[in-house]
Chain A
């Protein structure tokens, strides 16, 4: 039995039963990383020393509990190796956001998400690759080189959390944190054949997350199974006084409720006709329809649905998210932290720093956002986009009056080739077309593997639910995974 091929849940059960130590799990991951990382480039940094130190502490915590020295049972994450997207701060580890601007930035503090994993006893393997400032759908916008899709190295892993998705798919870690602004957890999860959960906006604190679009940004998880996602979400979710948009109500016990679910009788699944338009690949359509058929076989009632403003979601998203990005990234001026490219005077230093520090996609987005907010354009672009956001949200509100969950493809196509879309930003943006609208509405979504195309590239089924109904999504997804075995398929990598 190969340790690294186990689910996070299974590894956790083995730690609890004393069948394996955290040091063994961590060493297995580090060995795997050493072997396959040269082919994948999922990581921007590996924190082997910290990981081994945390693993030894975790083993000590299990030992202290077993001997009765400590009465509190350790967290199910105690001793579990995890990878963290490089837009989240972990104290004393570089946090680059995939940008030259932050190449040498070493935060002095943990993001709340990192702190909660640390407190639970998780082991930090390293920081994963991302499109620069999480802006992209392929990790090709990383200033440190792209990540390769473990199912086929010539293809992108998706993005922006492509490093996290690829690390999980290639069994280099038991789980990973990503972030999702317009689909950046779900889209790479779909393209890499893993589970990607984006919780509701406000479910997980954003403190210590390098900001992109602050009214969208949400931390999410990449794992092999839905159970694994539930375990991680449990540790991450919950109020935080350091993020005023993090909701005060405590999360339910996701895993406990999960295990009670057996079938889907009485569940109403809505299938939006807009999610099966011409631009969706035929193999994707076939596999998604088969997955929805499977939900019906498990007892669910399938209902047709319309989300009329779907085609307006992408324009609205890009105007608002990039307007927010242009404001958020104004802080990179070479004064307090990050890169500085000195000029003769302060003004010139700002311009030189930003010109040298940002890559082309980040510059494009800052420019678009600046334009949308500029005097004379604000009403036509930014304000209109915020009104469209209301319509998109109302579409979902109306849909959830009729159905309990919405099902469709996560992405219109399977993974595309590296370099295929880098010169055509608009075409790249279209790969997030089915994830953007739910991001505008702030509702939760999960992508889970449900098939492969003729080239063996994974296809993801997306489930969307009402705000703060992560439990419902997890339950349905879990029942689906019990009935199928897509999550057990793994790519064959070079030795």
Chain B
């Protein structure tokens, strides 16, 4: 069973904020899922190699040439805030 502190720590790593009731609900639900996935602990995997990809394709390389791409306007069209053709974000540190 996960502890409240563990759930809070994972939420912080994932940049999520949970209310007290959400923390408790997630603690129960994630604990149930983790109990279930723990069954992979039964297997002897010492001699087994991991499969990170089912394909064994060689690295795809291409010539480094200038090609047409999206325009600055198209790229910025979905930005929450822009200024002078750039993405605008709040200050990195709270100045308040």
Contacts and interface: CB of A to CB of B under 8 A. Distances in A.
B45 A388 contact: yes
Given A244-B57, A381-B37, A386-B52, 11 more contacts: A106-B77, A202-B55, A244-B59, A314-B37, A318-B37, A345-B90, A345-B91, A347-B92, A358-B16, A367-B11, A371-B10
Contacts of A441: 54
Contacts of B89: 335, 346, 349
B90 A343 contact: yes
B49 A345 contact: no
Interface string B77-90: 11111000001011
Contacts of A337: 78-80
A333 B14 CA distance: 11
A351 B16 contact: yes
A346 B18 CA distance: 19
B59 to A, nearest CB: 7
Nearest to B62: A241
A336 B78 contact: yes
B45 A109 contact: no
Interface stretch (A13-21, A263-271, A389-397, A453-461): A389-397
A245 B39 contact: no
Contacts of A201: 54-55
A282 interface: no
A326 interface: yes
Q: Among A245, A344, A371, A442, which residue has the most Cβ atoms of chain B within 10 A?
A: A371
Interface string A347-370: 111111011001010011011101
Nearest to B96: A344
Contacts of A10: none
A202 B57 contact: yes
A440 B62 CA distance: 29
Interface string A368-389: 1011001000001101111111
B80 A391 contact: no
A425 B50 CA distance: 27
A278 B24 CA distance: 32
27 contacts: A104-B78, A105-B78, A108-B70, A215-B54, A241-B62, A244-B57, A245-B55, A312-B39, A318-B37, A333-B15, A338-B80, A339-B80, A343-B90, A344-B94, A346-B92, A363-B16, A367-B7, A367-B10, A368-B30, A368-B34, A374-B10, A381-B37, A390-B49, A426-B29, A426-B32, A441-B54, A442-B55
A347 B12 CA distance: 11
Contacts of B74: 108-109
Contact of A367 (B30, B94, B95): B30
A244 B78 contact: no
A354 B87 CA distance: 18
A346 B26 contact: no
Interface in B1-25: 7, 10-11, 13-18, 22
A316 B14 CA distance: 21
A348 B52 CA distance: 34
B59 A311 contact: no
A412 B80 CA distance: 44
Nearest to A243: B60
A386 B50 contact: yes
A466 to B, nearest CB: 12
B91 A315 contact: no
Interface in A293-330: 311-312, 314-316, 318-319, 326, 330
B54 A388 contact: no
Given A215-B52, A335-B87, A355-B16, A311 B39 contact: yes
Contacts of B91: 345-346
A53 interface: no
Contact of A389 (B13, B36, B51): B51
Contacts of B18: 355, 363
B14 A326 contact: yes
A347 B15 CA distance: 9
